[in-house]
Amino acid sequence: MKRKKRLLTILSLALVCAIVLGGFLFMRTGHQQQSTSSTNDSAKTKTLTDLPKGVKSTDWDLVLVNKWHPLSSEMNFEKATVGGITVNARIKQAVLDFQNGARAAGYQTNLISGYRSIQYQKEVFENVKRNNIAQGMTDAEAEKATAAVVQNPGSSEHHTGLAVDMAGSDAFEKYPNLEANMDQFASQQWLIKHAADYGFVLRYPKEKSQIKQTGIDYESWHFRYVGVENAKYMVKHHLTLEAYVKALKEAGR
Ligand SMILES: [Zn+2]
């Protein structure tokens, strides 16, 4: 009898422990979930409340071109050349300043690509597709394989004249076909780190959630002009152009 009583006591003690521990774990999990969601909420609210004054989603330097927002016809704007590369005339000085800044820091840079017309993109696309067909692919296979490496005509940001492919000369020498690994070079790291000072953002970051937003894999060489104020804000809040434009629209801008 005594033994049975002791067994009962031990059992009930164990039960109490299990309940307390279970409750503790439950509260902890609940608390974690709550703190996570409140972090997200505050980030969202913060984004919405301190947006730069006077900035609108329709501003010329925030034009969004991606696979979900393709252009149906060529954009009309004044063009200028920098080192033989065509860009939107409005960003010529910013490109020069960006390159001069890098030079002053000890890095030579190569401007590789700027404005591309939709027509030109069509030709590039067709050429690659023709090659794929010549390699034995069906039309559908060739189309798919081409779209994986070449932007569909109309959906390349280079159509805006506001995007440049730029690399440290040493990085470009090692990776003439432009590869993410160019960011191993101090020159490329400098460009990425200081882009916002000249009004540029690294347009296609490497974070998975951001790749989902841009629809394009990490490109350590593709810089997009958005203006100094926007660029600094986007860097500070860790925003892609997609997320920034969305926040502006949600704020009625
Ligand atoms: Zn590019």
How far is the centre of ligand 1, averaged over its atoms, from the C-alpha of 44 (Å)?
29
Residue 31 within any structural domain of the chain: no
Tell me if 89 is assigned to some domain: yes
Does some domain include residue 47? no
Question: Does residue 176 lie in a domain region?
Answer: yes
Closest CA to 167 of 126, 221, 128: 221
Dihedral angle of Cα 125, 130, 135, 139, to the nearest 10 degrees: 90
Q: Number of structural domains, the chain?
A: 1
pLDDT in tens, 27-59: 444 333 333 333 343 344 445 578 999 999 999
Q: Does the pLDDT at position 4 exceed 50? A: yes
* Protein residues with C-beta less than 5 angstroms from the ion ligand 1: 165, 222
Q: Is residue 64 part of a domain?
A: yes
State in Å: Cα 141 to ligand 1 middle. 25
Domain that holds residue 179: 57-116+156-250
Domain harbouring 194, CATH code: 3.30.1380.10
DSSP string, 49-106: HSPPTT--TT-GGG---BTTB--SS-----EEEETTEEEEGGGHHHHHHHHHHHHHTT
Q: Is residue 191 one of the residues assigned to a domain?
A: yes
**Separation of 164 CA from ligand 1 center, angstroms?**
6
The tens digit of pLDDT for each residue in 120-143 reads 999 999 999 999 999 999 999 999
Distance 29 CA to ligand 1 centre (A): 44
Q: Which amino acid is at 45?
A: T
Residue 12 domain flag: no
Mean pLDDT confidence for 210-218: 93
d(CA 44, CA 233) in angstroms, rounded, equals: 14
235: burial class by Cβ within 10 Å (0-12, 13-18, 19+)? middle
Q: Is residue 19 part of a domain?
A: no
CA 83 to centroid of ligand 1, rounded, Å: 17
State both tokens at 108.
Answer: 């030579």
177 C-alpha vs ligand 1 centroid, how far in Å? Answer: 12
What is the distance in A from the centroid of ligand 1 to the CA of 151?
10
